[in-house]
């Protein structure tokens, strides 16, 4: 199974969390500090210096705001904290900015007990809201956000950025997403969430509410189109039937899990284009490989 690309989804989650301010903020995903691997996960710059961002995770915002993100698989430690502060100082030096005009936010899924204990013994650490821990020191506005401790009603995009969603939480997320409307940012975010929660997604994908939401968001048509496009591209080189068969296998691998070689061979042996079109639709909607395999019998 491919590794989940959490960082792009985090940057999209930040855009969604700050959606009402998107016109006055500039979002830079993976801002490069050097030509090498040094980069800021997410940089948010105010387009209007005097604008006030009244959002719990953004109340410390200055004109430049550095974000470091730790995925659900990673823990947050002192090294990460010090590295992020160093990135801030390097960014200030590069751009000739007063470092007091830069805020730092580190977002993690897991509570950083050891790091907070360490910082509490050296600085003043405050927490006026669940999941948000401010650090008062001479390095300027700094906070740590523990996404699993935030209130879902206020931070639905960050709280759902994990790989252990229940069916109920996934249903709620997609329902809210449908009300949000079509948005390329939302599309990227949901693709990652669906991939990271495949088993839960299987449980709810056939539900009426989820199916309706996916249709409204255009995701079902998108996945179908991607599969058929790949089939067409392959078809030009090796035959349309072979191309569509490979597209079906790809869809099953992305949505569920990689089919067995036996099942792959059965799919590849089909030459009937109409049948392959039906199987493409089934690959996009079936809840298990067993269901798909039964249709081939």
Q: What is the pLDDT of residue 46?
A: 95
> What is the CATH code for 6-162?
3.90.1570
Domain locations in the chain as residue ranges: 6-162, 219-296
Contacts of 253 (CB under 8 A, 6+ apart): 259
Contact 119, 111 (CB under 8 A): no
Q: What percent of the chain has pLDDT over 90?
A: 43
Find residue 43's DSSP bridge partners: 28, 66
Tell me the CA distances in angstroms from 101 to 94, 162, 206, 280, one per residue in order: 14, 31, 49, 53
Q: What is the pLDDT of residue 1?
A: 47
Find residue 143's DSSP bridge partners: 105, 134
For 60-83, the pLDDT digits (tens) are 999 999 999 999 989 999 999 999
Q: What is the pLDDT of residue 230?
A: 60
**Full-model pTM:** 0.70
Q: What is the pLDDT of residue 221?
A: 62
Residues in the chain where the model's pLDDT stays below 70:
1-2, 205-239, 254-255
Exposure string over 32-52, b if 16+ CB within 10 A, otherwise e? ebeeeeebbbbbbbbeeeeee
């Amino acid at each position: 199974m491919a590794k989940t690309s959490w960082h792009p989804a985090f940057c999209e989650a930040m855009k969604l969390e700050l959606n009402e301010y998107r016109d006055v903020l500039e979002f830079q995903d993976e801002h490069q500090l050097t030509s090498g691997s040094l980069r800021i996960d997410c940089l948010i710059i105010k387009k209007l210096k005097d604008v006030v961002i009244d959002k719990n995770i953004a109340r410390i915002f200055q004109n430049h705001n550095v974000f470091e993100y730790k995925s659900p698989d990673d823990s947050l430690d002192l090294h990460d904290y010090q590295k992020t502060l160093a990135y801030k100082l390097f960014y200030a030096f590069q751009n000739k900015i007063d470092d007091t005009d830069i805020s730092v936010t580190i977002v993690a899924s897991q509570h950083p007990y050891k790091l907070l204990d360490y910082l509490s013994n050296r600085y003043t650490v405050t927490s006026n809201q669940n999941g948000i821990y401010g650090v008062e020191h001479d390095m300027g506005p700094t906070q740590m956000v523990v996404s699993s401790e935030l209130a879902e009603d206020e931070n639905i995009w960050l709280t759902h950025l994990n790989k252990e969603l229940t069916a109920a939480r996934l249903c709620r997320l997609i329902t809210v997403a449908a009300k949000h409307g079509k948005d390329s940012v939302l599309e990227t975010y949901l693709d990652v969430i669906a991939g990271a929660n495949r088993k839960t997604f299987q449980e709810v994908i056939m539900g009426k509410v989820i199916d309706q939401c996916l249709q409204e968001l255009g995701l079902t048509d998108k996945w179908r189109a991607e599969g058929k496009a790949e089939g067409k591209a392959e078809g030009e080189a090796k035959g349309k039937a072979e191309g569509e068969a490979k597209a079906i296998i790809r869809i099953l691998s992305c949505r569920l899990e990689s089919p067995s070689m036996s099942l792959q061979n059965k799919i590849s042996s089909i030459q009937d284009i109409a049948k392959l079109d039906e199987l493409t639709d089934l690959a996009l909607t079936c809840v298990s490989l067993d269901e798909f395999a039964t249709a081939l019998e």
